[in-house]
């Protein structure tokens, strides 16, 4: 047997280029052999660069950047699984890299299961299980063949059905570089409507499952975003943080592509961040062919002719096909600046018959290369994006740079893909709710020490929330039955996580469970219909009810609880058991009461303020009373004249109809006019031929460039005002199917708009796209700002693109941008900024002076011809059209303070408290005796600029922990500074004692990642000159387990813990 090695205490295994390495908590690294047992010699890895200087001790929570980062460990590497398996290009020739691939949508025209199993063939002949099986068999048949696969969710479904012998063969294909996983996320995520937290989660889970299947040799090195409809800067930044060497995509604006092709700039360095420096840059390749498919005539999934190489056959066609291929490659190569050329071979759900592809590609390679003996300079071989990038890197070419993004994307002058920013708004909201609940579920699973008992339930929500990030899921570009299936799967997985939250909250709340099992603790109940102001537990209250508010955010929050009730005989007790004096009963808006899906007798809701500790909960008790005078009834009145409402910083001015007029600063008296407008664009009803592109699920094309403003009748619009010391609410019914409540919290300067919209009327056979507008007297000059996936700030300008000259053909849709979390306009002279926050991804613009416009709903009667083959006409609950309910928050502030207000508000909205209920069979005093009613998991709240992005159970009894600095370097004098966090003392009930810092998707030791650096030409024509901050990265201090986090950094750790 093998000798027994010396044990390594508190060591975490990591992967470096296929080797397994153990890094101990004193920083020493040891090699493991590939089967996972310790090497007998346990030889330390010697750092061959330069000595590591220990970081000095830093006190306080904020500091200036410290010493230079520690040099990277240069690991000893065995069993490399990188480009050593690549076919070497010939320097003197044009090297053509054939990349066989399939693009497998995780739902679109069919559901996920229908695509995987191959059912519903009349819709689309596509069965992913057959694709994977067919490809594996073809690869096993010939060692020179290569294939890439992307969507881990489908591969995981297939993997679970295979026996271990077959799995071993697949692992061998991967280890030999014949099968390569590219990108490796659970799905290929959208880049316009997704939030960065969900992008990170879905990519992390995909990479985790790849490791579970294949082992150490499977870490993807390439981002492969070939089908999303536009590309974001933050997604590029995240790709670099995942450890990707390069990014490949196919969809590029037609004018941008024309210019880039002419100047051979289809490959460039994308600067992913102004805050992180060169480590956020990523080499980027844009495909110049027919999207991401093969050249015309070389699709051996379709009806293209095979290569017939029998000279005796009358159909012999080798010379003709090779000539055609040579002509294509010479022409196609003019788009690029090196002698390497990538040609993708495959399209949507191709390779169901992989043999037909590989048989013909084998012949194409053989006969094309045979022409070299006659002087041809074209060299063709199987390749992968990883191998292609390595070959390009060796060319030492100088590349131009880009620092903005690729929105909006236009296919031609009438086809702006800006409709999907808003399509299916209810599903977009449900995705946001799913992410919120997933974070809560994962956190509580850790904090309650569930030890993996509920891993099945947590994983189900992980995976379906990840599916929702697919570029035909959250985008709203799937068929209706697929959207229904997404919602059903998300609902089922949320229900599974209900059980995790139920047991975790019950366990954390119990003061002692020494003599009880977790299963015996009282049930936590959930109200899944609070979005329509319905809750069976608060409406049918015949006993006291514990209301537990869990806050997943790392700061204490003040949360307004709103619970529908049918009985006023209630008293609210705070976590100490004392009655709350400020509780109010507000009427539920009539349009909410009329919602078809609402099953409730309640017409009022109980409103009170809850104070909830950081990463913890507070429990309030609703106690039944014999009398109904325990609530304070707000003053309800009709609007009869102009009036104002005070907030801490403003007088909010309304006219005699209850319409917003202005915001007046209370300290200076300065007034900013503010008017709301409701309008709709008529959808263009084209036939999708030539210039007649219709508006549809993907495309926003208005019939006219001016919207129809909804002019409400005075008797409709005249508002009702409900006033209390806590809140003032102004109720508006604007038109049938359109209403809102303007909610003013007297402790906050943010103004909330709670609206219902729909069904959109289409009896006139006109599709309509509904927009809300806020018009001010700010001078903005057509400049506005949007978020990039909820993170970075992007500056937008009317009728302008930073890297090419825009031809203005669609004034409105050509100025629409994705708004994941916020949009803002700014008056630089006045020093003021107006920001709108939303509760789901939407399309929006600020191209008109002083105005913000957000699209809230779309109902269109034509398809736009982009493949979904179905009009975006959502039926809603009763088949008469979809009704949505949503919220906006308006912030007016000085430019200097706007970022601070926005950053904190956005994080709190993304991590909203979750409320659970528990029936009490005894008096509240008994509940207080037996239960904790105020709990925080943190020793202290996190610093105000640090966000707990991830806390979840991970592999081998470890935890995955992510901390992020959510300010950019130039946003706040106080908070745009580095912060020191001691990981050991973050949590109250357990100690972090061993830490490994990894790449963003938790796949590799951060110290072992080798960055490729490229020669760039910053004098790129039309490129904006932006100031970039180059911070010094601070490595983890392995002595006290502290880390200094710079602005916009996300730091990912795999940690081990023990009870305090």
Provide DSSP, 647-661: -SSEEEEE-TTS-EE
With tokens 């006045």, the residue in question is 830
Kind plus residue range of the DSSP H or E element containing 135: helix 128-141
Please name the helix (run of DSSP H) or strand (run of DSSP E) that holds residue 45, with its range, or none: none
Pairing state of beta strands 990-998 and 1050-1059? antiparallel
How far is C-alpha 1026 from the chain's CA centre? Answer: 25
Classified as helix, coil or strand, 83 is: helix
- In the block, residue with structure tokens 């938790």: 1002
More confident residue, 1033 or 686: 686
Instruction: Output the pLDDT for position 475.
Output: 98
Q: How far apart are CA 614 and CA 683, in angstroms?
A: 46
DSSP, residue by residue, 204-240: HHHHHHHHHHH-GGG---EEEE-SSSS--HHHHHHHH
Cα separation, 268 vs 333, whole angstroms: 16
The DSSP secondary structure of 851-914, one letter per residue, reads EEEEEEEEE-SS--SSS--S------SSSS---EEEEEEEEEEEHHHHHHHHHHHHHHHHT--E
Specify the pLDDT at position 49: 32
| Burial class of residue 680 in the structure, from the number of CB atoms within 10 Å of its CB (0-12 exposed, 13-18 middle, 19+ buried) | buried
| pLDDT value for 61 | 42
Instruction: Kindly report the pTM of this predicted structure.
Output: 0.92
- For position 1, what pLDDT does the model report? 44
114-134: average pLDDT: 95
Say if residues 64 and 246 touch (Cβ distance below 8 Å).
no
Q: Collect all residues with Cβ–Cβ distance below 8 Å to 459 and sequence separation of at least 6.
A: none
Residue 601 parent element (H or E): none
Give every strand in the sheet of 959-965, ordered side by side: 946-953, 959-965, 1050-1059, 990-998
pLDDT at 1027: 64
3-state secondary structure of 612: strand
404 is catalytic: no
Verify cis geometry, omega within 30 degrees of 0, for the bond prior to 930: no
In whole angstroms, what is the distance from residue 501 CA to residue 487 CA? 20
CA distance 692 to 864: 10
CB distance 10 to 993 below 8 Å: yes
Model confidence band, residue 8 (pLDDT cutoffs 50, 70, 90): very low
The closest alpha carbon to 252, from 238, 237, 267, belongs to 267
Give, in degrees to the nearest 5, the angle at Cα 64 between 63 and 68: 120
Answer yes or no: are the C-beta atoms of 663 and 651 closer than 8 Å: yes
Classify domain 946-1059 by CATH architecture. Sandwich (2.60)
Which is more confident, 78 or 260? Answer: 260
From CA 349, how far away is CA 723, in angstroms rounded?
58
**Per residue in 766-809, pLDDT tens?**
999 999 999 999 999 999 999 999 999 999 999 999 999 999 99
- Of the candidates 392, 390, 367, 393, the one whose C-alpha atom is nearest the C-alpha of residue 380 is 367
Q: Where do the domains of the chain lie?
A: 93-406, 946-1059
pLDDT band for 361, please (50, 70, 90 cuts). very high
Residue 38 above 60 pLDDT? no
pLDDT(263) > 90: yes
Query: What is the band of 728 on the pLDDT scale with cuts at 50, 70, 90?
Result: very high
- Cα separation of 810 and 419, whole Å? 13
Q: Report the DSSP pairing between strands 281-286 and 179-181.
A: unpaired
- Neighbouring CB atoms inside 10 A of 754's CB total 18
Nearest to 548 by CA among 296, 917, 297: 917
Cβ proximity of 477 and 863 under 8 Å: no
Domain at 93-406, CATH homologous superfamily = Glycoside hydrolase 38, N terminal domain (3.20.110.10)
52 has pLDDT over 50: no
Q: With pLDDT > 70 as the criterion, what percentage of the chain qualifies?
A: 90
CA gap 74, 1007 in Å, rounded: 9
Total residues found in the chain within this entry:
1060
Q: Write out pLDDT tens, residues 444-463.
A: 999 999 999 999 999 999 99
Residue 421: pLDDT band with limits 50, 70, 90: very high
Distance CA 58, CA 179 (A): 47
Residue 4 has pLDDT above 80, yes or no: no
pLDDT in the model for residue 633: 78
- Residues 6 or more apart from 234 whose CB is under 8 A from it? 196, 272, 788, 789, 790, 791, 792
Catalytic residue among 201, 227, 749, 827: 227
Average pLDDT in the chain: 90
**Residue 377, both tokens:** 């300079």
Rounded Cα–Cα distance for residues 839 and 550 (Å): 19
Which residue do the tokens 């003996």 mark?
Answer: 373
1010 — pLDDT class (breaks 50, 70, 90) = confident
Residue 511 CB neighbours (<10 A): 11
pLDDT in tens, 314-335: 999 999 999 999 999 999 999 9
Would you list the DSSP string of 304-326? PPPP---TTSTT--HHHHHHHHH
Q: Report how far residue 467's alpha carbon sits from residue 764's, in angstroms, rounded to the nearest whole number.
A: 37
Phi, psi of 149 (to 5 degrees): -130, 150
Q: What is the DSSP letter of 143?
A: T
């Amino acid at each position: 047997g093998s000798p027994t090695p010396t044990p390594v205490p508190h060591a975490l295994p990591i992967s470096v280029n296929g080797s397994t390495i153990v890094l101990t908590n004193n920083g020493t690294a040891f090699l493991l052999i590939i089967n996972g047992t310790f090497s007998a010699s346990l030889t330390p890895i010697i750092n061959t660069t330069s000595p590591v200087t220990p970081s000095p001790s830093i006190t306080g929570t904020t500091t200036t950047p410290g010493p230079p980062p520690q040099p990277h460990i240069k690991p000893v590497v065995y069993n490399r699984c990188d480009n050593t398996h690549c076919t070497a290009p010939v320097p003197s020739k044009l090297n053509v890299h054939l990349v066989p691939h399939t693009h497998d949508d995780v739902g679109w025209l069919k559901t996920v299961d229908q695509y995987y199993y191959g059912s519903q063939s009349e819709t689309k002949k596509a069965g992913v299980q057959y694709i994977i099986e067919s490809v594996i068999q073809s690869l096993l048949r010939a060692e020179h063949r290569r294939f890439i696969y992307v969507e881990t969710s489908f591969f995981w479904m297939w993997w679970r059905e295979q026996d271990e012998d077959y799995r071993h063969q697949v692992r061998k294909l991967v280890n030999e570089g014949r099968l390569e996983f590219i990108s490796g996320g659970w799905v290929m995520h959208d880049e316009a409507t997704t939030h960065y937290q969900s992008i990170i989660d879905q990519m992390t889970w995909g990479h985790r499952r790849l490791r579970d299947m294949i082992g150490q040799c499977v870490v993807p090195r390439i981002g492969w975003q070939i089908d999303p409809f536009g590309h974001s800067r933050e997604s590029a930044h995240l790709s670099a943080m995942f450890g990707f060497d390069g990014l490949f995509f196919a969809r590029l604006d037609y004018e941008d592509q024309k210019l880039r092709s002419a100047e051979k700039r289809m490959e460039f360095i994308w600067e992913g961040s102004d805050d992180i420096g060169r480590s956020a840059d990523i080499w980027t390749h844009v495909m110049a062919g027919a999207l991401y498919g093969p050249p015309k005539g070389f699709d051996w999934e379709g009806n293209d002719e095979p290569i017939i190489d029998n000279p005796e056959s009358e159909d012999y066609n080798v010379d003709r096909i090779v000539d055609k291929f040579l002509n294509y490659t010479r022409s196609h190569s003019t788009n690029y600046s090196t002698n390497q050329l990538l040609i993708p071979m495959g399209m949507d759900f191709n390779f169901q018959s992989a043999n037909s592809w590989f048989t013909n590609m084998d012949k194409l390679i053989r006969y094309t290369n045979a022409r070299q003996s006659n002087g041809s300079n074209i060299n063709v071989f199987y390749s992968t994006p990883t191998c292609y990038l390595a070959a390009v890197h060796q060319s030492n070419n100088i590349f131009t740079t880009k620092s903005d993004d690729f929105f909006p994307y236009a296919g031609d002058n009438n086809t702006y893909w800006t409709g999907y920013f808003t399509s299916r708004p209810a599903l977009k909201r449900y995705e946001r709710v799913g992410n919120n609940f997933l974070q809560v579920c994962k956190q509580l699973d850790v904090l309650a020490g569930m030890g993996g008992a509920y891993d099945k339930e947590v994983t189900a929500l992980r995976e379906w929330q990840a599916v929702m990030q697919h570029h035909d899921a959250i985008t709203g570009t799937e068929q209706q039955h697929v959207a229904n299936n997404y919602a059903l799967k998300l609902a089922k997985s949320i229900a599974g996580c209900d059980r995790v939250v139920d047991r975790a909250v019950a366990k954390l709340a119990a003061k002692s469970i020494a003599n009880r099992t977790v299963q015996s603790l009282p049930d936590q109940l959930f109200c899944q219909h609070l979005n329509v102001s319905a809750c069976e537990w608060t409406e049918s209250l015949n006993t006291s009810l514990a209301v537990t508010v869990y806050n997943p955010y790392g700061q204490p929050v003040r949360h307004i609880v709103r619970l529908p009730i049918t009985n006023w005989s209630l008293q609210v007790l705070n976590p100490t058991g004392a009655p709350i004096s400020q509780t109010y009963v507000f009427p539920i808006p009539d349009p909410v009461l009329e919602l078809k899906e609402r099953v409730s007798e309640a017409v009022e809701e109980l409103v009170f303020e809850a104070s909830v500790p950081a990463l913890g909960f507070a429990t309030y008790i609703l106690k039944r009373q014999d009398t109904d005078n325990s609530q304070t009834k707000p003053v309800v009145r009709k609007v009869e004249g102009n009036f104002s409402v005070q907030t801490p910083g403003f007088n909010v001015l309304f006219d005699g109809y209850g319409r917003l007029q202005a915001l007046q600063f209370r300290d200076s008296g300065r007034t900013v006019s503010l008017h709301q407008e409701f309008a709709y664009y008529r959808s263009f009803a084209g036939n999708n031929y030539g210039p007649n592109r219709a508006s549809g699920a993907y495309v926003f094309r208005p019939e006219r460039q001016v919207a129809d403003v909804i002019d409400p009748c005075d008797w409709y619009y005249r508002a009702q005002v409900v006033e209390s010391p806590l809140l003032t609410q102004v109720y508006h019914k604007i038109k049938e199917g359109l209403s809102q409540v303007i909610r003013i919290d007297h402790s906050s300067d943010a103004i909330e708009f709670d609206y219902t919209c729909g069904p959109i009327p289409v009896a006139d056979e006109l599709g309509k796209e509904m927009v809300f507008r806020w018009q001010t007297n700010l001078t903005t000059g057509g400049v506005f700002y949007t978020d990039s996936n909820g993170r970075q700030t992007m500056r937008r300008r009317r009728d302008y693109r930073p890297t090419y000259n825009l031809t203005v053909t669609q004034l409105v849709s050509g100025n629409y941008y994705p708004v994941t979390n916020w949009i803002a306009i700014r008056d630089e002279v006045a020093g003021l900024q107006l920001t709108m926050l939303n509760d789901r991804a939407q399309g929006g613009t600020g191209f008109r002076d002083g105005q913000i416009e957000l699209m809230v709903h779309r109902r269109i009667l034509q398809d736009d011809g982009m493949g979904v083959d179905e009009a975006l006409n959502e039926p809603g609950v009763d088949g008469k059209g979809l009704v949505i309910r949503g919220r906006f928050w308006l912030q007016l502030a000085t430019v200097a303070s706007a970022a601070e207000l926005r950053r904190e508000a956005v994080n709190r909205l993304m991590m909203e408290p979750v409320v659970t209920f528990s029936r009490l069979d005894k008096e509240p005093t008994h509940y207080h005796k037996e239960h904790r009613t105020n709990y925080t998991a943190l020793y202290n709240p996190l610093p105000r600029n640090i966000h707990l992005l991830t806390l979840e159970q991970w592999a081998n009894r470890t935890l995955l922990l992510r901390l992020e600095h959510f300010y950019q370097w130039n946003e706040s004098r106080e908070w745009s500074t580095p912060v020191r966090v001691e990981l050991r003392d973050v949590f109250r009930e357990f100690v972090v004692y061993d830490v490994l810092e990894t790449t963003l998707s938790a796949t590799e030791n951060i110290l072992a990642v080798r960055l490729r650096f490229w020669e760039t030409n910053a004098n790129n024509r039309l490129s904006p000159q932006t100031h970039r901050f180059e911070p010094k990265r601070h490595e983890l201090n392995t002595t006290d387990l502290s880390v200094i986090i710079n602005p916009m950094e996300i730091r990912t750790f795999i940690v081990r813990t023990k009870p305090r």
